[in-house]
A and B are shown apart, each in its own frame.
Chain A
Amino acid sequence: MSIVDTPVPVAPAAPARATARLLRSELRLVFGRVRNLVLLAGLAAVPLLIGTVLFVTQSTPVAGQGPPFLDRVTGNGVFLVFAALVSCLPFLLPLCVAIVSGDAIAGEASTGTLRYLLVVPVPRTRLLLAKAVAALAFAGAAVVAIAVVGLAAGAAYFGVGDVVLLSGDTIPLAAGMLRTLGVVGYVIASLTGLVAVGLFLSTLTEVPVAAMASTVVVAIVSGVLDALPQLSAIHPGLLTHHWLDFGEFLRLEVDASTLLAGLAVQGAWVAIFGALAWSRFTTADVSS
C-alpha cells in the first residue's frame, strides 16, 4: 500500500512525539477542569483544617488517640503532613483517584468525544496510556498538594524541627524532609493499582459516575476485607493492604524489601487490570 494517490501528505510525527502531545492535551483536560481543581483544593484543605483546629484549640491530642501522628503535630509541624495523609488515605484519596480514572474513558464515551478522538485517529492503546498517566498525575498532584499545604501550614502554626521516628530515635530535619519525600512518593505509587482498576471499570461503561462509584467501592471493600482477620491469608495481596507501609520511611532503618513488597502488589494490580483495560478498550465497539 502506498500513498502515491493521496493529495494530502501524511507524515505522522514520531510516536514518542505524538504520545507526548496527546499526554499534554490530556493533562490540560484533567487539570483544566473546574471539578477536578475543586477536588484538589478540597484535599489540600484537609491539612489546613487539621492544623487550624489544633492551633486554635491549642490542645495536643492525648497520645494514642485519634489518627496516628496527630499527637505529634503540635510539637513538630512536619507531622501535619503525615497526619493529613493518614486521614486522606482511607477515603478521600481513593475518591480522588476514582473520579479521575473512572471518568477517563467513560467520560469521553458519555460526551461522545471518544468516537471523534478515535477517528482523528488516536490509536486506542496510546489513548489508554495517556489517560492512565494523566489520572496518575492527578492523583500525584493531590498527594503533593496535601504534603505541601501540610508542611506549609505545619511550619506556620507549629514550626518544624528534628523528626522523631517511630522507633523513638531523632533525626535532623533535612533527613526528615528526605524521608517525607519518600513517603509522598510511596503514597503516590500506592495509588497506581487503583488507577488501573478505575481505568478498567471506565472502559466497561458509558456512565462515568458508575465507573467512579464502583472504583471507590473497590477501594472500600478492599479496606473492609483487610480488617477481617479471618481473611488474613489474602491480606498481603489486597489493593489497600500496603498503603500504610509508608510508615517504613519513619523507622530506624528503612527496609527496602518492605517497600518493594508493597510496590510489587501495586505492580501486580496494574499488570492485571491494565491488561484487562487494554483488552477491553481495544476490542470494544464504540457505539456511544
Chain B
Amino acid sequence: MAPTGTVRVPSDVVLSLVSGTLGHSGPMDTTRSLSPRVRWAVPAVAAGAVAAAFLVPAAVGAVASDDLPAVTADELVDRVANAEKVPVSGTVVYTARLGLPDVTVSELQGAGPLDLLGGSTTMRVWSDGEDASRAALLGDVSEYSVVRSGPEAWTYSSADDEAVHYVVDPADLERYEALADEAAEPSVEGDVPTPSEAADLALAQARIYTDITTTDPVEVAGRSAYQVELRPQTDGTLVDRIRVAVDAETSVVLRTQVWSVQDTEDPALEVGFTDVSFDAPDPSVFDFSPPAGAEVREVEVPLPEPGTMEKPGSEALGEDAGFAVSGTGWETVVEVSDVDVEEILGATAEGRLPEGSTGSSGADDLLEEFTDAEEGELPGIPELDTQALYDQLTTPVDGGRLLTSALLSVLVTDDGRVLAGAVPPATLEELAG
C-alpha cells in the first residue's frame, strides 16, 4: 500500500470539527474541550489523507490489471501491425531523460517541438482513425498544433502566432489520391510523436536482431493493456530494451518506453496516453483555418517517389551531400558526407528550414523521430540562436564535435561528415577514422 501510516483519530474529532465550524451546538462548546494533542492530530490526518489521495491512485495504476487471455509476443506484434484503425483521442505525456544539456525554452518561446528534447511534455491528440488527425503540444499558456486532414496539414504556434500550411504538390495530388494511404501523408516539420508512431518503428523490424517477449498485462490510462518487450540481441547499441503497451481491446498502442543501457531503471524516453478515449472526435477538430492576423506560410510538399522512401532529401543537407549506411539492425550508423554545417545553421537561423531526413531504416529511425531537431532542424523557432544551441548540445572531440545522449550519438566531423546512430560515441569515432 501507499507509504502513509495510519493515524488514529477519535471519531468525535470529526464531529466536533463540524460543530466547531457551526458554532456551539449545545451548552458546552466541545471544540474547546478537545485536548491539544487531539487537535494537532487533525493536520496529521489531513496530510495523511492528502498523501493517500495523491499517491494511492498512482500506486494502484501501476498494478497489473485484471486477467486477460494470454497472448504470445508474435501474436501481439501481428495484432498491432494489422490493427484496424480506430478513432482515438486523449492526452499523451512524453518524457525524455536523454541526458542532454537543458535547452528547454518553452518559458521564453512558448510550446514548440524543442520541448521534446528534455523533460516532460503534455500533448493532446485526436484522430478520426482515417486520414485526419490533430496533435497539440501544450505549454503553460501556449500551444503548438499539428492538424492533418487528407492531403493538407497545418502547424500553428500560438507563441509566434504563425501558421504553416503544407499541401501536397499539385503535380502529385492525383497520385496521392490513388495511394490514399497514410504512408503518403505530407511530412510536417516539427511533427509530434505519438505512442503508436514510436512503436511502429520499433515493431517493424522487431523480428530481426531482437528478442521479443511479453510481460504481465499493465494498466495504462485506465485501460487494460498487453505489454511486449523488445531487447536488442547485440550489446553494441545504446538501447537496452523497449516496452510497448497495447490496448487489449482495440490493439492501439497506449505507451512506448525506451530504456538506455546507461540507466535501466527509468526509461530514457517514454510516450504514452494518460487519458484515452476511442469515441470519434468532433469533425470540427480537424477543420483548421488560420486565425485572422496570423502569419501564414505555404509549403508545397512533393510526395516521395516510390523507392526513395529510404533516403533523406539530400539537397537539404548541402548540394554535394553523400549518404551511406553501415552496420545492421540496432547498430546501424548513418553517415552523410559533405554536409555544410555552417550553412544549415545559418539557414535555420533565417527560418529556411531544411527538409527532414526521417525514413531511413534502422533503430535510429525511432530515435530520430524523437530527436530530429538535434541535427539543426529547429522548426517553428525562428528567433532561436541555433549556433549557440549547437555549441551547447555538442562537445568538441578530436576532429569534430560530438553529441551524446542516452539513446543517440551524433558525430559531426570537421571535414563535413555527419555520423549518427543508437551506438556508443566510440563506435562513431572509430567509423569516422
Contact = CB atoms under 8 A, between A and B. Distances in A.
Contact of A232 (B50, B119, B145, B162): B119
Contact of A68 (B40, B50, B142): B142
Contacts of A18: 23
Given A244-B141, A275-B46, A283 B39 contact: yes
Contacts of A129: 21
B21 A64 contact: no
Given A125-B31, A168-B288, A251 B143 contact: yes
B54 A268 contact: yes
B156 A64 contact: no
Contacts of A63: 159-162, 295
A200 B315 CA distance: 65
Interface in B137-192: 138-143, 145, 154, 156, 158-163
A64 B160 contact: yes
A96 B275 CA distance: 37
A64 B110 contact: yes
B430 to A, nearest CB: 34
Contacts of A275: 42-43, 45-47
B263 to A, nearest CB: 15
A6 interface: no
B40 A257 contact: no
A167 B145 contact: yes
B25 interface: yes
Interface in B22-44: 22-25, 27-29, 31-32, 34, 36, 39-40, 42-43
A178 B245 CA distance: 39
Contact of A170 (B46, B292, B295): B292
B20 A283 contact: no
B322 interface: no
- Give the secondary structure class of A's interface: helix
A85 B176 CA distance: 47
Contacts of B107: 227
Interface in B304-355: none
Interface string B67-87: 000000000000000000000
Interface in A5-55: 12, 15-16, 18-19
B291 A164 contact: yes
Nearest to A71: B161
Given A19-B23, A68-B141, A167-B136, A268 B50 contact: yes
A35 to B, nearest CB: 29
Contact of A168 (B27, B49, B294): B294
A19 B124 CA distance: 45
Nearest to B43: A275
B136 A282 contact: no
A229 B160 CA distance: 24
Contacts of B143: 166-168, 251
A282 B39 contact: yes
B53 interface: yes
Interface in A221-250: 227, 229, 232, 237, 244-247, 250
Contacts of A252: 124, 136, 285
B21 A125 contact: yes
Interface of B: 17, 20-25, 27-29, 31-32, 34, 36, 39-40, 42-43, 45-47, 49-50, 53-54, 91, 102, 104, 107, 109-110, 118-120, 124, 136, 138-143, 145, 154, 156, 158-163, 275, 285, 288-295, 383
30 contacts: A12-B24, A15-B24, A15-B25, A63-B159, A63-B161, A64-B110, A68-B159, A71-B161, A82-B141, A123-B29, A124-B20, A126-B22, A164-B291, A164-B292, A164-B294, A167-B145, A168-B158, A168-B290, A168-B294, A227-B107, A232-B119, A244-B140, A250-B141, A255-B91, A272-B50, A275-B47, A278-B17, A278-B43, A279-B43, A283-B39
